[in-house]
Amino acid sequence: MTKRDFVPDSHKNLHGWAVNYAAQLSPIAVRVSWPTAKVNTLTANLDTLNTATQAVLDTAIGQLAAAKAGVLGPIRLDTKNLKSTTGFTEGDATALGVYTTPETFNRETYRPALDATAHHGYVELVAKKLGADSLNVYWQPEGTAPWHLLAAKRVRFPFHDETPAPAGPTLQAREYMVIGVIGDEEIGNPSNIAAAVFQA
């Protein structure tokens, strides 16, 4: 049985989550007598994530990737330890945004979610694996067939499609979808189709 990760995939949702976690942490940590040194370390990592996600909202995408690689592991470990501390409740987990619920995984009905946003020179794809190991990313010029594999077994998102437009036009309407993968096998149903206009 898998569980949903409490850390959001989207940088927009990740920023709000990290800000709320940092704001709610102190009184809960005091009430459950969590060590000050651990609170300070977790707060510092959340502040790093807050700064980086805010920078992403100002287009500094690379900074977020580096910050996530550096602090998400320690944040998950500290959160696991905090949640196992005597006196910590499900209400605390909900307040911090770290509550996870068991999720029954059905390979037949599985369907991932996808969002596409156009930027100058690339299209940003944000997808949720929802229990799959990875996702295959497909695209096509809007209204045409067949689908073309853009990225195989993608684990981390956002993903940037920087595929150049055909010679001539500077704008190209594109459609995207993702399909879940477990091991090397595609499973379940394709995601929703997300559309965006590539701007060269």
Q: What percent of the chain has pLDDT over 90?
A: 46
Q: Is the pTM of this model over 0.95?
A: no
Q: Are strands 171-182 and 122-128 parallel, antiparallel or unpaired?
A: unpaired
Give residue 91's pLDDT: 86
92 against 10, higher pLDDT? 92
Same structural domain for residues 90 and 164? no
Whether 141 and 173 have beta carbons less than 8 Å apart is answered as yes
Instruction: Kindly tell me if the per-residue pLDDT of 134 is higher than 60.
Output: yes
Residue 160 domain-assigned (yes or no): yes
Q: Which of these three, 45, 68, 102, is where a domain ends?
A: 102
Same structural domain for residues 118 and 186? yes
Instruction: Kindly tell me if the per-residue pLDDT of 155 is higher than 70.
Output: yes
Instruction: Kindly tell me if the per-residue pLDDT of 1 is higher than 60.
Output: no
Domain enclosing residue 30, as ranges: 2-102
Beta bridge partners of 119: 122
* Residue 8 phi, psi dihedral angles, 5° rounding: -65, 150
Instruction: Kindly tell me if the per-residue pLDDT of 35 is higher than 80.
Output: yes
The contacts of residue 141 (CB under 8 Å, 6+ apart) are: 172, 173, 174, 175
The span from the CA of 161 to the CA of 126, in Å, is 11
